[in-house]
Amino acid sequence: MNNEKNNETFSTAAFHRPELRRIKLELSYDGTNYNGWQRQKDVPSVQETLETTLGRILGKPVSVTGSGRTDAGVHALKQVAAFSTESRLDTGVFQRALNGFLPHDIRVLRVEEVPFCFHPIANAIAKRYRYLIDDNRPSFPLTRNYCWVYREPLDLRTMQQAASFLLGEHDFACFQTQGSPRKTTVRTVSDVLVERIHDPNGLYPPLIRIEIEANGFLYNMMRTIAGTLTLLGVEGRRGRSKPERMKEIIESQNRALAGPTAPPHALYLVDVRFGVCGL
């Protein structure tokens, strides 16, 4: 899978150290207060917070590898990470200790011991992202930090029709913004969902949910797709519906023809699936 690279590498030399265990974490976090997943100098990150907490529990530095980076302000319903340790602590103890020391905007949902060959990047075969848009007028104040509050209503049907052109294997260079270099910009999208969701309890207004599952994502690919679908939704509402423009944009491989990069605070990493040596 073509994924974002972390700054750690997984050394096969560790296979010759039978005293080491491989521990897999599934965690959820609110990305509002973090400058993304990856550890960076002088700014808070989820990775650094997790490693600091594990170091406090184990009494020594710990290196944690995540399944990929999420940008500043992006949230995760399920991020997957792993680390190696000589500790004999039970996985349940790990979970309770982590949740006891971590800040409340990061929660560990599951801890399990896995085969040492497990690697959150190398074994990942698919990721699923969600993007939420509030196009109501007036907008709903309680969701403003977790949705893109858009300035006018969007035409859902146009967005749905346009999204169908994303399915399959394509060169998605048009949706990549400058970031880490990639060997190829070809990705395969296996599932696309665009719908208006309604809360039966009335806690939030109807929101537009965009979900995409693919074998890899380019830098800001999901946010640029969301921005492009939103742009086409505006045109549809104004009576200038042409969902086929999505196909033209993809085939052009030209970033300038796609829509804006949507804000990060409405993006969620939903799930990560694994193949060989994955669970």
Q: Give the phi and the psi of residue 263 in degrees, each rounded to 5.
A: -60, 150
Structure tokens at 105: 């905007």
Q: Give whole-number Cα distances, 249 to 55, 230, 242, 245, 266, in Å.
A: 47, 14, 12, 6, 23
Single out the catalytic residue among 71, 135, 155, 271: 71
Beta-carbon-side half-sphere exposure of residue 133 (alpha carbons within 13 Å): 28
**Residue 47 belongs to what H/E stretch?**
helix 46-58
- For residues 116 and 253, give the distance between their C-alpha atoms in angstroms, rounded to a whole number: 40
* 278, 125 contact by CB (below 8 A): yes
- For residues 260 and 56, give the distance between their C-alpha atoms in angstroms, rounded to a whole number: 42
Q: Is 42 a catalytic residue?
A: no
Residue in the block written with tokens 């700014």: 43
- For residues 108 and 129, give the distance between their C-alpha atoms in angstroms, rounded to a whole number: 19
CB neighbour list of residue 47: distance below 8 Å, 6 or more residues apart:
6, 37, 38, 39, 64, 66, 81
Q: Give whole-number Cα distances, 104 to 91, 95, 189, in Å.
A: 20, 14, 34
Look at the chain and count its residues: 279
Q: Is the peptide bond prior to 138 cis by the omega test (within 30 degrees of 0)?
A: yes
Active site residues: 71
